[in-house]
Structure 1
């Protein structure tokens, strides 16, 4: 019987690589997780009586690099975070930032007046105010109840 030397750090490294592979395959890129050179920004959607309010996290992006298109029932946002190359003579530079293009289409919970939409970009957060269409504001659905039939 041969003796085999146990190397726990090699096994831990192997287990970590396998766990990373599993998590990368389970989480889709559309949920704000990075995937290759593309990413999908995190979104927060809120609705009140007059408008649909949409916020997107877009830190480090120049507003000129964003393409925002609003239809009556969806918002499409595309953009690019451009790579900024930095070099350092002494030492090492490490970056975990993701660069590249993204596109996200967000369906809206109500029809909006896309021509009256307003966008504001401040501190890396894009705020969209999308006024609801008049027919959505006044839409009332009356539900009528019918008596249940008597059981025997």
Structure 2
């Protein structure tokens, strides 16, 4: 049997690697990913008693360039940001903007009336008000409790 020298830093490196994976960009879809990957808009979802409020961050686009479709249980948003080509006589132009198509499907926590959705798009923020169905508004779930006898 071979003896292996204990290295306490190896455990620290493993912990650092796990933390890096936890905060990796793949868990944060609103960030720009590596070349070839897609950038999706960041979303904020708030549920009230009568509606679901969805806010999407889509800067640099016009409302006519967005396709928003709503079903009873999900919202589908897609669009395309077209690149603006610039040429400079001296050197190169560098851009960290993301151009191209994107799409995102956001499942909703409750059923909604997709015929009564209202939308507002201003300053790169898309606000959707998704009213809940009457059945969802009045939904009460009875929980049966059983006493455990030890």
TM-score range for the pair, normalised by the shorter chain length: 0.7 to 0.9
Unaligned runs of 5+ in 1: 1-21
Instruction: Looking at secondary structure, tell me which structure has more helix per residue.
Output: 1
- Paired residues for 1:73-152 under 5 Å: 73-90=73-90, 92-149=92-149, 151=150
TM-score (norm. length: structure 1): 0.76
**Greater CA radius of gyration, 1 or 2?**
1
Distance in 1, matches of 2:126 and 2:40, equals 14
Distance in 1, matches of 2:101 and 2:27, equals 13
Deviation of 1:90 (Å) = 4.0
Indicate how the Cα distance of structure 1 residues 54 and 40 shifts in structure 2: closer, same or farther if over 3 A, else same.
Answer: same
Q: Deviations over 1:47-92 (max 9, x none)?
A: 1001101111100011111110000000000100111112233454
TM-score (norm. length: structure 2): 0.77
RMSD: 2.0
Residue 48 of structure 2 corresponds to residue 52 of structure 1: no
CA contact (8 A) 1:30 1:40 kept: no
Aligned residues: 127
CA contact (8 A) 1:60 1:124 kept: yes
Indicate how the Cα distance of structure 1 residues 37 and 27 shifts in structure 2: closer, same or farther if over 3 A, else same.
Answer: closer
| SS of alignment partner, residue 44 of structure 1 | strand
